[in-house]
Chain A
Amino acid sequence: MELKEKLVSSFLAFENKGNIDLDSTVHAIRLKAIHNFEKEGFPTKRDEEWKYTSLNPLLKNDYSLFPNAEKSVGFKNVKDYLINEIESYTLIFIDGVFSSFLSETTHENCDVCVLSSALARPKYKMIIDNYFNTIANKNSSLAELNTAFVKEGAFINIPKNTIVPKPIQIINFSTGSEKEVLLQPRNLVVVGENSYVQIIERHQNLSKNTTLTNSVTEIFVHKRAIVDYYKIQNDTNESSLIDSTFISQKQQSVASVNTFSFGGKITRNNLEFYHEGEHITSNLNGISILNEKQHVDNHTLVDHKSPNCESHELYKGIYADKSVGVFNGKVIVRQAAQKTNAFQQNNSILIDDGATINSKPQLEIFADDVKCSHGCTIGQLDESALFYMQSRGIPVKEAKALLLYAFGNDVVEKIKIPQLKTLISKLIAKKLNVQLGFEL
C-alpha cells in the first residue's frame, strides 16, 4: 500500500486510539487537515517548490506510524546529544513519546511542557484556540499531514516580561524499535511581550534503522520579544527530516533562526517568517556541510507586510562527494512594506565533481522605497591563500579545512550560547575530518 493511502486509512485508528473528544476544535482541525492532505498528496518534483528535491526515495518505505515498543533508553544513551555544560530545560521525546524521566520541565514563570497536556487541559484552551495551527501553511500538504496526526511535541508558553533563565533543549530520539518509523512531532512556542528565550532543537536516530521525521513548529513572537532558535541537524545517513517552521512576529520583535545541517539522508527545511507589525527584525542563518550522498534543501520565505522592517539572510554551504545542496530563498515585500531592508546571501563551495548546488534566490517586490538585495556565489578555495599556508608548514589538508572553517565562521559567530558555539565548532571540525588545533 502506498504511504499516502496508508496514512489516510490509519487516520481513524489514530483518532480512536487517542480517545479524541469529537467536539473539540482540535478534532475539527485534524479532520480538515487530513482531507487537505488526501487531496494534495505528497509534493512531487513537478511542484515548483520541490523542483530540486524528490521525496520518492523516502516514500517507498513501509513506515510504522505508531511505534509502541519503546526500548529502555537511559541517560547514558542520550547524553552525548545534549549540551551538558549548561543548565537548561530539556524536553526529550523517545520515538515520539515524552520521556519525563530524562526531561526537565517547568511551570514556574513560564510553561515548558508537552503539547499533549496543553491540548487536553482546559487551562490552556485559550492559547490553543488562539495560536494552534493558525500560521502553519495550509497549502503545504506535509504541514497538513503533521496537523492531522498531531499528538505530541513541545509546548512553550512564555508570559510577558519574562527572561527565560536557561536555554530550552528539544530533542527527538528514535530508538529503532521498529524497522522503519515515521515521526511527526509538533511544537508550539508563544513568547509574550518583552520576553526572551533561547531554544535548541535536535533530531537524533540512535540506531541504524530508517527514520523519517515530519516536524512542524509554530512560533509566535510578541511585541519587543526576542527569540533565538537553533536547529542542529547531524543525524545518521538512514534518517530524513522534513522540518517546517512558521514564525509570526509582532512589532519591534527580533527572531533569529540558525540552521546547522551536517547530516541526514534528505533534509528539507521550510522556514517561513510573517511580519505583523513595524520595526521587526528577522535573521536567518545557516551552514550546510555535506558529504557522501546527503541532500539538504533550505527553503526560506520572508513575507514583509509592514513598513520599516528588516530581514537578514545568510546561508553558507560546503558540498563534498555526491552531496546535493539546495537553497531557495524567497523574499516578498508587499505594497505597504515601505522602507524595508531585506538582504539575502548564499555562498557555496563545491569540493568534489559529483556534488551539486542548486540555488534560487528570489525577490518579489511591490513597494518602491526599499533596499533589497541578494547575492549568490559559487566558487573554490583561494589558491594563493592555500599556498601561503602550505609555505608556512601547514599541511594541505589542514590548510583547506582551516579555510573552509573560516568560510563558515561568520555564521558560527552569530551563535549566542558559548557552549553551543563550541559544540558546533567541534561538529564542523569532525565533519571536515581535521584537528583544528584550537578550542573556541
Chain B
Amino acid sequence: MGKFTEDDLKKELETKEYEYGFYTDIESDKFPVGLNEDVVIAISKKKNEPAWMTEWRLDAFRIWKEMTEPEWANVRYTKPSFQDISYYSAPKTKKKLDSLDEVDPELLKTFEKLGISIGEQKRLSNVAVDIVMDSVSVATTFKKTLNERGIIFCPISEAIQNHPELVKKYMGSIVPKTDNFYAALNSAVFSDGSFCYIPKGVTCPMELSTYFRINEGGTGQFERTLLIADEGSYVSYLEGCTAPARDENQLHAAVVELIALDDAEIKYSTVQNWFPGDKEGKGGVYNFVTKRGLCEKNAKISWTQVETGSAITWKYPSCILKGDNSVGEFYSIAVTNNFQQADTGTKMIHLGNNTKSTIISKGISAGHSHNSYRGLVQISPRANNARNFSQCDSLLMGDKCGAHTFPYIEVKNKSAQIEHEATTSKIGEDQLFYCNQRGINTEKAIALIVNGFGKEVLNKLPMEFAVEAQKLLEISLEGSVG
C-alpha cells in the first residue's frame, strides 16, 4: 500500500456518507404544516391530555408568538420558517405495547441499523431504553424491573395521564415557558419525550436511555424530558440522537429539565449525532436545545455531551446550584466538520454556599466549520466559598475553520475562587511524526491524538457508550487535517 497522504484522507472524508442517513418506510400519521392555536389544541387532543395541559400549551404558544428569534449566537443560517413545519408526526402502527415483540418489525430493523438493537442491549448491557421516533415514544424497555423499585420511566405523555401531580409540580419550573424562543415553542407543541422519577433513597440499578430519531421529512422534533431525582437518589441517564439524511433543514428544539433534590445525583449524558448536512453544507438538523438542572442541598448534576452531528448546534446545558454544597459538572466534546456550526457551552449559577462547578470543554473544528464555546460562571453575592474550574481547549484542523471562546465570568463574592483557562492549537506535526515513525498511519494517529485530546470527557461517559462515542469521533474527524 502506498503512503496514505493527507489529501487522500481529506478526499475519503469528504466523500464519506452519513452512516445513519437512511429513511425507514413506516407509514406515519402526520399533521399538515403550519402552527396556530388549533394545531396546539389538536396535538393536545391527540395525546388525550387533560384540560390543564392544553391550557398550559396554549399559554406557552401565546408567549411564543410575542417572542423573536435570538440573534446573539455565533452561528449563521437561514431561519426556519415555522409555518412550513409539521408539528406532529407519529409512526402509524401505534398501539399499546407490553413487550418488544409487539413492536413493528420495520421499526425494529431501523433500530438495528442504528446500532441500538434493543434486544441486544436488553440482554447485554442492562440498559432501559425509551425510544422516541418523530416525536413519539415507541418503546420503553425494562419497565417491570424499574417498577419494582418504584422508579417511573415512561413517555412524558403517559406521565401526564398517570402522574399529573409530579408533572404539574415540576414541568416548567426549571425552564419556564418564558425562558427563550425555542423553549416557548417546545412548551406549546412538544409531542412526547421521556419522564423519569427516582424515589427517595433509590439508586437506579441500570442506565436509563432515550433514543431520538427524526424520520419523516418536513417535521420538527420537539421532545421534552423531565427527570426528577428525589432525596438521596442516584440516576445515570443517556440520550442518543440520529436523523436520516435530507436536503432540507430539519428542526429540533428540545427542552430538558433536571431536578436533583437534597443529596441526589444525576448524571446526564448525550451522544448527539443528528444529520450534519452533506459536504456542501446542504441539509442537516438545526439543534436548538434548552437544558437546565437544579441542584438542591448536597446534590450533584453532571452533564456529559458528545456533539458530532447537526448543521447548527445551539445548546447550553446549565446548572443552578441553589442548595449549599451542591456540585455542577459539564464535560463536553463538540466536533464540527464541513459546514457545521456549533455554539455550545454551559451556565453555572452559584447561589448556595460551598458550591462547586467544573467545566471541561473540548472543541474540535475541521473543514469549513465553526465551533464556539460560550459559558457563564456567575457567583451571586451570597454564595460564599464558591469554587469553579473551567478549561476549554480547541483543536483546529485546516485553516478554513474557526474556534471561538466566549467565557463570561461574573463574580460578586470575595470568597470565590475561579480559574479559567483556554488554549487553541493544532495537532502537532511532531506528534504525528512520532506515530508514523512507529508504524501508525496518519489516519490512525489522528484518531489516537484526538481521542487523547478528548479523553477527560470520554472517561465520564458510561462504559457502554464510551466506545460508541469514540467511534463517532473517529468517523466525524478521520483525516480532516489539511
A358 and B422 within 8 A (CB): no
Minimal beta-carbon separation of A268 from chain B (angstroms): 18
The answer, yes or no, to whether A48 is at the interface (CB within 8 Å) is: yes
The answer, yes or no, to whether B418 is at the interface (CB within 8 Å) is: yes
Cα–Cα distance between A368 and B407 once the two chains are bound (Å): 21
* Interface size class, chain A: 35 or more
* Interface size class, chain B: 35 or more
Query: Residue A368 contacts which of B397, B409, B418, B420 (CB distance < 8 angstroms)?
Result: B397
The answer, yes or no, to whether B52 is at the interface (CB within 8 Å) is: no
Mask for B421-437, Cβ within 8 A of A = 1, else 0? Answer: 11111100000000000
A361 and B411 within 8 A (CB): no
Cα–Cα distance between A357 and B416 once the two chains are bound (Å): 11
A380 and B402 within 8 A (CB): no
The answer, yes or no, to whether B403 is at the interface (CB within 8 Å) is: yes
B410 and A358 within 8 A (CB): yes
B426 and A352 within 8 A (CB): no
Q: Is the interface of A mostly helix, strand, loop or mixed?
A: strand
B424 and A335 within 8 A (CB): no
Which residues of chain B are near A350, meaning CB under 8 Å?
411, 413-414, 416
The answer, yes or no, to whether A166 is at the interface (CB within 8 Å) is: no
B421 and A375 within 8 A (CB): yes
Q: Is the interface of B mostly helix, strand, loop or mixed?
A: strand
Cα–Cα distance between A366 and B74 once the two chains are bound (Å): 14
The answer, yes or no, to whether A373 is at the interface (CB within 8 Å) is: yes
Which residues of chain B are near A358, meaning CB under 8 Å?
408-411
Query: Residue A376 contacts which of B72, B402, B421 (CB distance < 8 angstroms)?
Result: B421
User: Closest residue of chain B to A352, judged by CB?
Assistant: B414
B424 and A363 within 8 A (CB): yes
The answer, yes or no, to whether A362 is at the interface (CB within 8 Å) is: yes
Q: Which of A312-339 contact B (CB under 8 A)?
A: 335, 338
User: Closest residue of chain B to A364, judged by CB?
Assistant: B404
B396 and A376 within 8 A (CB): no
The answer, yes or no, to whether B22 is at the interface (CB within 8 Å) is: no
User: Closest residue of chain B to A369, judged by CB?
Assistant: B426
Query: Residue A378 contacts which of B72, B405, B416 (CB distance < 8 angstroms)?
Result: B416
- Contacts A350-B413, A376-B421 given: A48-B72 contact, CB under 8 Å? yes
Which residues of chain B are near A355, meaning CB under 8 Å?
412, 414
Which residues of chain B are near A335, meaning CB under 8 Å?
399-400
Mask for A57-87, Cβ within 8 A of B = 1, else 0? Answer: 0000000000000000000000000000000
B411 and A357 within 8 A (CB): yes
A351 and B409 within 8 A (CB): no
User: Closest residue of chain B to A48, judged by CB?
Assistant: B72
- Contacts A353-B413, A357-B411, A369-B426 given: A376-B418 contact, CB under 8 Å? yes
The answer, yes or no, to whether B24 is at the interface (CB within 8 Å) is: no
20 contacts across the A-B interface (CB closer than 8 A)? A335-B399, A350-B414, A356-B411, A357-B411, A360-B407, A360-B409, A361-B407, A363-B404, A365-B403, A365-B404, A368-B399, A370-B426, A371-B425, A374-B405, A374-B421, A376-B407, A377-B419, A377-B420, A378-B409, A380-B415
Q: Give the 5 A-B residue pairs with the shortest CB-CB distance, closest first.
A: A368-B396, A378-B418, A350-B414, A376-B420, A359-B409
